[in-house]
Every structure is written in C-alpha cells, then in structure tokens.
Amino acid sequence: MLVLLFVLPPLITEAQRFSVSGKVTDELTHIPVAQVNVVDVRSSIGTITNDDGSYFLLLNKGTVEIQYGGISHHPVKVTFELRQDTLIDTSLLLSAEDRARRLKRDGLKNAPLSDVPLSSSSERP
C-alpha cells in the first residue's frame, strides 16, 4: 500500500500532460522562422523554434495560452483547452519597421509595404 502512495501520483500527473507542437512560418514568405519564443503564458513553460521553425512543449491538461513572438515579428496569442496532443502551425507577420528595413537593405526602396498592420500584437482564436 505504501508503494502505491509514491508510484500513483506521478502516473496520474503524467497522464494529464499533452504535447503542443508545430511550425512557425513568416506569413508573407511562408519561410520557417527560427528563434521565435513559444510560451504558455499561464504556466510560463516555453521554448524557442529551431532552424526549421519547429517547436515542442509538454503542458498540463486544461486551458493554455500560447504566445508566439520574435524580435522582428508581431506577437500572436492562441488560447485553447488542451485535452490531447495538439499540432498548431502558426504564421507571424513581419513588423512594418523590419519589413521596410529589409526592403531597403535588399535595394527595394520603392516596393510597397502591402497591408502590414501597425499594431504591436494580434490575437487568433
């Protein structure tokens, strides 16, 4: 009986954890974005995307609030109920300032900035 007290709680806790994984890409170019912060705001558990934009988190069952953000991209927040292993592919929009900087650097000074929003964050369902 005493053994069950030590073995059972970790098994119950482990059974309530699920993975959240996916790939982060640039919304305009569809190129994977490396070094993006991916954090569950509620638990403060996070990671960064690797060179191909992929990430993996192991989180407790329940409501999670994943925020994606990079130095050059507008942050995106996704809130949902985690009940199973979940795959979320997300695209981030390059900030207007960084897009203009890249266009200038690449010699495309007169290229239109398109419809790049000027807000600093966006939320997605």
CATH number at residue 71: 2.60.40.1120
Residue 5 lies in a domain: no
Calpha distance 35→64 (Å, rounded): 21
According to DSSP, residue 94 is labeled: B
pLDDT tens track for 74-124: 999 999 999 999 999 999 998 877 777 777 777 655 445 454 444 444 444
Residue 90 lies in a domain: yes
pLDDT for 109: 52
Residue 121 lies in a domain: no
Q: Which domain does 45 fall in, by range? A: 17-108
pLDDT for 125: 46
Please, are residues 26 and 2 in contact by the beta-carbon 8 Å criterion? Answer: no
- Domain count of the fold of the chain: 1
Structure token digits, residue 70: 């990079």
Residue 6 lies in a domain: no
Please, are residues 42 and 65 in contact by the beta-carbon 8 Å criterion? Answer: yes
